[in-house]
Amino acid sequence: MDTLKLFQAALGIEEPWFIKEVEFKHVNGQQELHIQIDFHKGAMFPSSCCEHPECKAYDTEERSWRHLNFFQHKTYLIARVPRVQCGDCGKVRTVAVPWAEKDSRFTLLFEAYVMFLVKEMPVNAVARLVDEHDTRIWRVLHRHVEKARAKADYSNVTQLGLDETASKRGHNYITLFMDLNRRKLLFATEGKDASVLGAFTADFVAHGGDPGGISDVTCDLSPAFISGVRQHMPAAEIVFDRFHVMQLVSKAVDEVRREEAKTNQALRKTRYIWLKNPDNLTAKQRETLLAISKMHTKTGKAYQLRLSLSDFFEMSESSAATKYLQDWYFWATHSKLEPMIKAAKTIKQHWDGILAWHHKRISNAILEGTNSLIQAARAKARGYRTTRNFITMAYMIAGKLEFGLPT
């Protein structure tokens, strides 16, 4: 087998295309491998507009595509790409080449390699590794993510989880919508107000989803999320996420601690003790907690209220849990601790959605785990320049997308 046929077999070049020439060229102080591809005279091509199977070349334009390196050398495929005149409608269109997508500067194999690397390292690191500007790498990611999402089918989605996550420093957020059954990110959009539910619903319907078919939604106690769900998914039962309910009470405990610490030095620098369950404390933290408990502090009383509420979520019987929460509410509202009273009244306002935990048993735990992965990637990349980049990376991490690239 001669050299040209060897490269042709390796690249999977088929009729009417063939490799015309392979040569090394010295470009900008580096050796590059240029593989010249051509087509046989008189070859017929399918039209890209009406899919007419046999169209003659109208004219040609030379184009090049970055390919996987040949050892340490940059490699480019260079070809005369014909335009054809469709036999049905008469329109002139550029022929699609089998080794690259339309308007891409890279071959499919190169893009597949990039997509693999991006799952393992930040885009900037990938750009340095393949010696390309990172904006070109982002364009590849955006295109493949958008193409894969366009094919996604949401017709079987019935349980939905939504939560916000910070996209950059300051009050900048995106909201994530996940299929709780498949643990798959369905949609991500900028913002965290009620309008994000409208944006999700439009995208959901475009992918074959039925908002009326969503039976359960788990989210935090945000009024914007609640109103958005009720407006766009009227049949859905809202289940308030366990993590956010406990977070509400934990913040109240910390408010009690901060106020009491003004007159009790022992409570200073103890914030993280009151945010944990006793089993999760270090030995030193346990000693501190024991010492403070003997002082009969307001903070200790608030902490006991917090621990008691966590027991509510561990109960197995729904009727017993309802009675337990009623007793807890009475205790909290008669505690004479203003932050705890305020938190208890907030829980009362969301009573049904909190009790729903006991017969739905769904939460945003999947979303919290996804948020951790997304934020870890953001930290590793030292942030993303645009929200679009951040959303694209969220889909790469949690979207379970099928890109259909060669392997």
CA angle 306, 309, 311 (to 5 degrees): 115
For the residues 53-74, what does the mean pLDDT come to? 89
Q: Does residue 246 sit within a domain?
A: yes
Q: Does residue 175 sit within a domain?
A: no
pLDDT digits (tens, 9 = 90+) for 201-249: 999 999 999 999 999 999 999 999 999 999 999 999 999 988 899 999 9
- Is the pLDDT score of 51 beyond 80? no
Number of domains in the chain: 2
Q: Amino acid identity, residue 98?
A: P
DSSP structure string for 258-314: HHHTTT-GGGTT-HHHHTS-GGG--HHHHHHHHHHHTTT-HHHHHHHHHHHHHHHTT
Q: What is the mean pLDDT of the chain?
A: 91
Q: Does residue 193 sit within a domain?
A: no
| H-assigned helices in 159-282 | 195-206, 223-232, 242-260, 271-274
- Is the pLDDT score of 87 beyond 70? no
The answer to pTM > 0.85 is yes
- Is the pLDDT score of 88 beyond 70? no
Q: Does residue 44 sit within a domain?
A: yes
Burial status of residue 43 (CB atoms within 10 A of its CB: 0-12, 13-18, 19 or more): middle
Q: Does residue 172 sit within a domain?
A: no
For the residues 118-142, what does the mean pLDDT come to? 94
Residue of 220, 297, 219, 223 whose CA lies nearest to 253: 297
Q: Does residue 339 sit within a domain?
A: yes
C-alpha span between 218 and 242 (Å, rounded): 9
C-alpha span between 64 and 384 (Å, rounded): 30
Q: Does residue 177 sit within a domain?
A: no
Q: Does residue 280 sit within a domain?
A: yes
Inter-residue contact 61 to 83 (CB < 8 Å) = yes
Domain boundary among 50, 69, 99: 99
Domain boundary among 360, 376, 393: 360
Cis peptide preceding 16, ω within 30 of 0: yes
- Is the pLDDT score of 181 beyond 70? yes
Residue 9 sits in which domain range? 1-99
Domain boundary among 81, 99, 117: 99
- pLDDT for 332 equals 96
C-alpha span between 279 and 285 (Å, rounded): 11
- pLDDT for 210 equals 96
Predicted confidence band of residue 95 (pLDDT cuts 50, 70, 90): confident
For the residues 31-55, what does the mean pLDDT come to? 84
- Is the pLDDT score of 1 beyond 70? no
